[in-house]
């Protein structure tokens, strides 16, 4: 193995040029040649040292990778050839604890497949051999690669790249580290996709000492460290018993109010979810998060519960034909509107106790008013209908002359009012005025000098002041 000072320089730059795998031939294949290898080595040496930051390779991942390649040094070429290297073109076997490279594998199109469960065993033979292995990253996350060799003849150098050495934000090299057994660990932040691990023997230009017995192992491991995106949350109103929307497929969606859990549910394969909750009051803020199977939790999406419930019908106090205000009770903070037909007479806001007072023009008795309340969300109650009450007494009746021969009292009063003729407290008779106000009340003839009183009472029960007349001699 190379000393740690040199190996620590092995980074993405290893495969940053097609020349690191040799010269591209006319037929499109790539052949490992000395010039290409030498250029690759120079590129490695010019990389800046980038140690793996503390915490990226945690204890669990370290053990997973170490266990994956722990027996690789003991693998002999006999074991290696036994599983069909360079024979049938298939480098996988369910019956073995490892998979083997299949030559030719010195370009992207002929790259071997790797497995997250088994190490890949390979040779760097003959001189200037370059191996390329394919690794599939299932979702955005951390890609770890560990490399180890069973021979001092190999100074193992490896790196991960995108196909055709594309450079983008899909793959970020995070650094490398080593353990006391000489295993090198590299970490990459990668977006979902297919990547390639290039492997060379770093000391090929110093000594040509590799044999078929000199093997290396590459192990890979993936860790989902990317939290899901914030869930999309559909509108939630104060009638709803579910919260719906979209989040990462197969994630667990949680709905809370503050620290109080309202409910959880798993998203479908297309990301839709439906979380059962108790109905919430309008204005309550819900927070919705999604947690993936790796335990990464998204940032919270927040939504306010929308008010879709209309206020109750307002309570309206009696309105009479003297009133210039309409009063009563409605939903606190709602806007109360008074109308006559389609004509708005006035509106006002109910106070925190729900009391309201709407200024209007005085209305005729019998006029029908409709009163509604609209809340801040724009929900309008059904209307309360009231009829303007008549509290204004009729004018005093006009009474024609009455003599001691008359058996009737005539005159004019409020139209349709009931006219009553009395002597003292004794009623002599009554009748209803016609639509023009004319009335004729039948009475017994009264003595000259008798004072009679005449009043008019309207349909609302309001009685006029009395008109007094003296019976005269005929």
Q: Which residues pair with 173 in a beta bridge?
A: 188
Q: What percent of the chain has pLDDT over 90?
A: 69
Number of domains, the chain: 4
Does residue 22 carry a pLDDT above 50?
no
Mean per-residue pLDDT of the chain: 87
- In CATH, what number is assigned to the domain containing residue 181? 2.60.120.380
Q: What is the dihedral of CA 288, 293, 296, 299, to 10 degrees?
A: -20
- The pLDDT-based confidence of 79 (bands split at 50, 70, 90) is low
- The pLDDT-based confidence of 38 (bands split at 50, 70, 90) is low
Q: Do 212 and 116 share a domain, yes or no?
A: yes
Q: Do 298 and 433 share a domain, yes or no?
A: no
Q: Do 116 and 259 share a domain, yes or no?
A: no
Q: What percent of the chain has pLDDT over 70?
A: 85
Q: Is residue 85 part of a domain?
A: yes
Q: Do 114 and 254 share a domain, yes or no?
A: no
Domain end position, chosen among 260, 282, 304: 304
- In CATH, what number is assigned to the domain containing residue 264? 2.60.40.3110
| 177-204 mean pLDDT | 91
Does residue 36 carry a pLDDT above 50?
no
Residue-level pLDDT at 365: 93
- CA atoms of 398 and 454, how far apart (whole Å): 9
Q: Do 137 and 27 share a domain, yes or no?
A: yes
Q: Which of 72-86, 204-218, 441-455 has the lowest mean pLDDT?
A: 72-86
Q: Is residue 191 part of a domain?
A: yes
Q: Is residue 230 part of a domain?
A: no
Overall pTM > 0.75 = no
Q: Is residue 146 part of a domain?
A: yes
Model pLDDT for residues 265-291, shown as the tens digit of each residue: 999 999 999 999 999 999 999 999 999
Q: Do 381 and 405 share a domain, yes or no?
A: no
- In CATH, what number is assigned to the domain containing residue 414? 2.60.40.10
Q: Do 180 and 37 share a domain, yes or no?
A: yes
Domain end position, chosen among 193, 223, 253: 223
Cβ-count burial 58-85 (b if 16+ within 10 Å, e if not): eeebbebbbebbbebbebebeebeebbb
3-class SS letters over the chain: CCCHHHHCCCCHHHHCCHHHHCEECCCCCEECCHHHHHHHHHHHHCCCCCECCCCCCCHHHHHHHHHHHCCHHHCCHHHHHHCCCCCCCCCCCCCCCCEECCCCCCCHHHCEECCCCCCEEEECCCCCCCEEEEEEECCCEEEEEEEEECCCCCCEEEEEECHHHCCCCCEEEEEEEECCCCCEEEEEEECCEEEEEEEEECCCCCCCCCCCCCEEEEEEEEECCCCCCCCEECCCECCCCEEEEECCCCCEEEEEECCEEEEEEECCCCCEEEEECCCCCCCCEEEEEEECCCCCECCCEEEECECCCCCCCCEECCCECCCCEEEEECCCCCEEEEEECCEEEEEEECCCCCEEEEECCCCCCCCEEEEEEECCCCCECCCEEEECECCCCCCCCEECCCECCCCEEEEECCCCCEEEEEECCEEEEEEECCCCCEEEEECCCCCCCCEEEEEEECCCCCECCCEEEECECC
Q: Do 175 and 69 share a domain, yes or no?
A: yes
| 248-260 mean pLDDT | 97
3-class SS letters over 156-212: EEEEEECHHHCCCCCEEEEEEEECCCCCEEEEEEECCEEEEEEEEECCCCCCCCCCC
Q: What is the dihedral of CA 168, 169, 170, 176, to 10 degrees?
A: 100
Domain end position, chosen among 168, 190, 223: 223
Q: Is residue 309 part of a domain?
A: no
Q: Is residue 84 part of a domain?
A: yes
Q: Do 245 and 214 share a domain, yes or no?
A: no
| 125-136 mean pLDDT | 90
Q: Do 70 and 165 share a domain, yes or no?
A: yes
Q: Do 329 and 422 share a domain, yes or no?
A: no
Domain that holds residue 449: 398-470
Q: Is residue 261 part of a domain?
A: yes
Q: Do 206 and 112 share a domain, yes or no?
A: yes
Q: Is residue 171 part of a domain?
A: yes
């Amino acid at each position: 193995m190379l000393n740690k000072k040199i190996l620590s320089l092995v980074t993405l730059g290893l495969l940053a040029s097609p020349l690191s795998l040799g010269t591209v031939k006319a037929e499109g294949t790539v052949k490992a040649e000395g010039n290409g290898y030498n250029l690759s080595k120079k590129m490695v040496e010019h990389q800046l040292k980038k140690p793996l930051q503390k915490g990226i390779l945690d204890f669990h991942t370290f053990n997973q990778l170490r266990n994956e390649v722990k027996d690789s040094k003991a693998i002999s070429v006999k074991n290696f050839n036994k599983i069909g290297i360079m024979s049938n073109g298939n480098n996988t076997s369910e019956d073995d604890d490892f998979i083997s490279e299949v030559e030719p594998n010195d370009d992207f199109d002929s790259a071997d497949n790797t497995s997250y469960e088994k190490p890949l065993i390979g040779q760097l033979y003959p001189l200037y051999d370059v191996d390329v292995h394919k690794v599939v990253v299932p979702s955005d996350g951390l890609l770890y690669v560990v490399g180890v060799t069973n021979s001092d003849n190999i100074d193992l150098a490896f790196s991960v790249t995108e196909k055709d050495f594309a450079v983008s934000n899909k793959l970020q090299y995070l650094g490398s580290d080593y353990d006391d057994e000489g295993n090198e660990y590299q970490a990459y932040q990668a977006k979902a996709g297919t990547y390639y691990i290039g492997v060379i023997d770093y000391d090929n230009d110093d000594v040509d000492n590799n044999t078929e017995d000199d093997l290396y192992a590459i192990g890979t491991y993936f860790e989902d460290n990317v939290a899901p995106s914030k869930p999309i949350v559909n509108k939630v109103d104060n009638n709803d018993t579910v919260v719906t929307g979209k989040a990462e497929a197969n994630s667990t969606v949680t709905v809370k109010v503050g620290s109080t859990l309202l409910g959880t549910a798993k998203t479908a394969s297309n990301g839709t979810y439906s979380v059962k909750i108790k109905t919430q009051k309008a204005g309550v803020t819900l927070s919705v998060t999604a947690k993936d199977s790796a335990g990464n939790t998204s940032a919270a999406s927040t939504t306010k519960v929308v008010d879709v419930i209309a206020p109750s019908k307002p309570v309206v106090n009696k309105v009479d034909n003297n009133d210039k205000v309409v009063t009563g009770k409605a939903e606190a903070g709602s806007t109360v509107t008074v109308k006559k037909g389609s004509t708005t007479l006035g509106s006002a806001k109910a106070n925190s106790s729900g009391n309201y007072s709407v200024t209007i023009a005085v209305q005729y008795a019998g006029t029908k008013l409709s009163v509604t309340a609209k809340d801040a969300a724009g929900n309008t109650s059904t209307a309360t209908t009231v009829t303007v009450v008549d509290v204004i007494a009729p004018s005093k009746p006009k009474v024609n002359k009455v003599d001691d021969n008359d058996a009737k009292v005539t005159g004019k009063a409020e139209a349709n009012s009931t006219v009553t003729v009395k002597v003292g407290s004794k009623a002599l008779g009554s009748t209803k005025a016609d639509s023009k106000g004319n009335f004729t009340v039948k009475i017994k003839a009264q003595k000259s000098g008798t004072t009679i009183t005449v009043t008019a009472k309207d349909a609302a029960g309001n009685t006029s002041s009395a008109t007094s007349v003296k019976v005269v001699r005929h």
